[in-house]
Amino acid sequence: MAIDEKFETRSNGRVSVEIKDLGSNNVSVTVEDNGIGLDELHYEAFLEVDTEFKRERGGKGVGRLYWLDAFRQIEVQSQYFDQHGSIRRRAFKFVLEDEDQIQDISPSHDWLENQTGTIIRFRGLRSAAYIDKFPKQAAMVVNHTISEFIADFLSRNSPMITLSIETEAGAITKADFPKDVAELVAVGPLHAETVQIESIGDFNVTAFLCDKRASRGMNLKHALHLLGNGRTVESRKIDDLLGISDLEHEGQEELRVHLVVASDFLDARTAESRTAFTIPEGELAEITRSVVTSVRNSILSDKFREWDKQRRFAFDRFLADQPIYAFSDPDELFVEQVPPTATTPEQFVRALSVVRMRREQEREITLGNLVGSLVSGGNIPENFSELVQRAAKGIQINEMTSLAHHAARRKVVLDLLDKLIRRVRETDSGKAGKHHLERTLHSLLVPMQMAGWDYETVERSSHDLWILDERLTYTAGFSSDLQLRRSIKGSGSEDRPDLVVWDVGFGLGPISVPYGDEDVDEIEQLQEIFIVELKKPGRTEYGSNDRLEDQLTKYIRELKAGDVESFGRRKIRVSHDCRFYCLVVADIEGQLKNGELASWEPIDNGRGRRRELRVMNTIIDVFEWSEVLRSARDRNRALLSMAGLSLRADTAFERKKDMAAE
């Protein structure tokens, strides 16, 4: 303030700060300026507790009281002009006593003629609180000085400040401000339009793009500096609000954003210590968010355009792969619900899952209220029809996104199945890894060596048997790649069918509650069993011991001779007239085509073969892997169409034009 009263331009002022014995309890700090000096007017204000002398410039009149709290010794010397234009000096000690806190001493500083200014010497930290908190390293002092006055330093609106620090060990550090900070500015100052926040106030914003060193010691990359009466009162981290880590300008990389914010609203709510605001955190957060959003969309928009373009591409891909989160207009979701830092599917899910849940809850409440109005016989609002239509449309959208998610997930599975089939076909039988790929193909459809009824493996027994037959979508009663003796009571067979299903459609077995403990009605016997054999894609050689009919009828005889183990380890008898449906998935070529299948009935326009064994009440169908995949894809296309999606690429979808228009 003394410099402001002497010079029209702050940059003409000079401040010297010399710190010695840093790191010890006896640290000393000497501050010297070339301001107006401690003349009579200023001295009288100094003597008055809680003075309003600098109130109009943000001074609280209590700063010097903190000196007494922090240091054991304080000495002030000053040279000034009196009201008659004569040079005067004064010197005194400022002490923490009940009386006579000002103790005059003889001036000892060798001032130049007509020089004005003030020198304040502090020595020795007084209490443990200050001893613990006072910086011990020179870098901490430099960084704190920068953070305290960064707004002035960035805009070069400060006196010339020289800082000299000598540690207890004798190491010396020097810094010059604002030069050391101003040199880090790559772009700026950029003045944004006034940010108007309803019910709070107007805010003036100045933006700077700086070298990353401007953020040192702040535990952040990008910062917003809130000023109170011209001084930085609080610096807030805005990394998450900006989203981008580093910016670039004309070849300069790793640049940081620093925003300086000033307003009458902040000035009026600056605490006495000028280190905090008397503003609720909610309002400070709203100010920060509004300012960053405004700057991001205006004076720095060109710096974020490519970044946001990449984020939007990632978001669109996410919605394509996870349509369940496309519960509203994608533009609205991206702008209003997705934080600027979100770039990955996991981050998108975190941002949207709660929003989706809340909207569903709101829709349920609305429907509940509508139903309540009808049931209670109360007054029905005039816009009742509109409310019903709106709620119904919301339910429809929710159902569509859920169906789309289901279809998209199936599409991923089918793409993987396609690639696995191709890979297995291309693998020569003599190459290592062949059996591994075959096991992977089997496991994609259903886990191997698994019993679907085993309560110990329920969490691992999920499957994709819908690929073979939609009736198997929810089946739980099955054994996969297990020896028959493990699932058939009384059987000693070590044969391992690829898949045996006796709970087709989750409802044909006698157990009403899966994995339950209720007694079994043994009168109700199994009426239908589904057997699947998977042959290696591309296989062409089949010997006399590889006959499909012989292999399957052998399994059937074992099943008819015993009881099948089901939920709760209970045994269920296979009925005498149980119908067996057998599906073999194999490439119909080579010895299989020209041998055993040559006499079988062609089905499905020649894409499959059928053998009916009436004596055993058995039907055996053979379909190629490509036909199974084609059929599953056709069924999934129906789901995609119902969900309003159209195929765009592998595992990616887009809304149909008419749906998007709605």
pLDDT tens-digit profile of 474-529? 777 778 888 888 877 777 888 889 988 875 433 334 344 444 444 444 456 778 88
CA distance 160 to 325: 56
Q: pLDDT higher for 55 or 49?
A: 49
Q: Count of CB atoms within 10 A of residue 351's CB?
A: 18
Quick check: 612 pLDDT over 90? yes
- What pLDDT sits at residue 265? 96
pLDDT higher for 19 or 526? 19
* pLDDT recorded at residue 405: 67
Task: Choose from 10-14, 284-288, 375-379, 420-424 the range with maximum mean pLDDT.
Answer: 284-288
Output the 3-class SS for 311-380.
HHHHHHHHHHHCHHHCCCCHHHHHHHHCCCCCCCHHHHHHHHHHHHHHHHHHHHHHHHHHHHHHHHCCCC
Number of H helices, E strands in the chain: 19, 27
Indicate the pLDDT class of residue 2, thresholds 50, 70 and 90: confident
**Residue ranges of domains in the chain, CATH in brackets:** 2-134 (3.30.565.10), 179-299 (3.30.230), 433-623 (no CATH)
Q: Say if residue 119's pLDDT is above 90.
A: yes
Which residues, in sequence order, are CB contacts of 204 under 8 Å at separation 6+? 191, 194, 261, 262, 263
- Of all residues in the chain, the percent with pLDDT exceeding 90 is 38
Pairwise CA distance, residues 307 & 503, whole Å: 53
What integer pLDDT is reported at residue 190 of this predicted model? 93
Hey, what amino acid is at 413? V
Q: Cα–Cα distance between 438 and 444 in angstroms, integer?
A: 10
pLDDT number for residue 175: 95
Percent of the chain with pLDDT over 70: 80
Q: Which of 79-83, 241-245, 392-396 has the highest mean pLDDT?
A: 79-83
Give the tokens for residue 204.
Answer: 């003036």
Count of CB atoms within 10 A of residue 301's CB? Answer: 11
Residues near 143 by beta carbon (within 8 Å), at least 6 away in sequence:
216, 217, 218
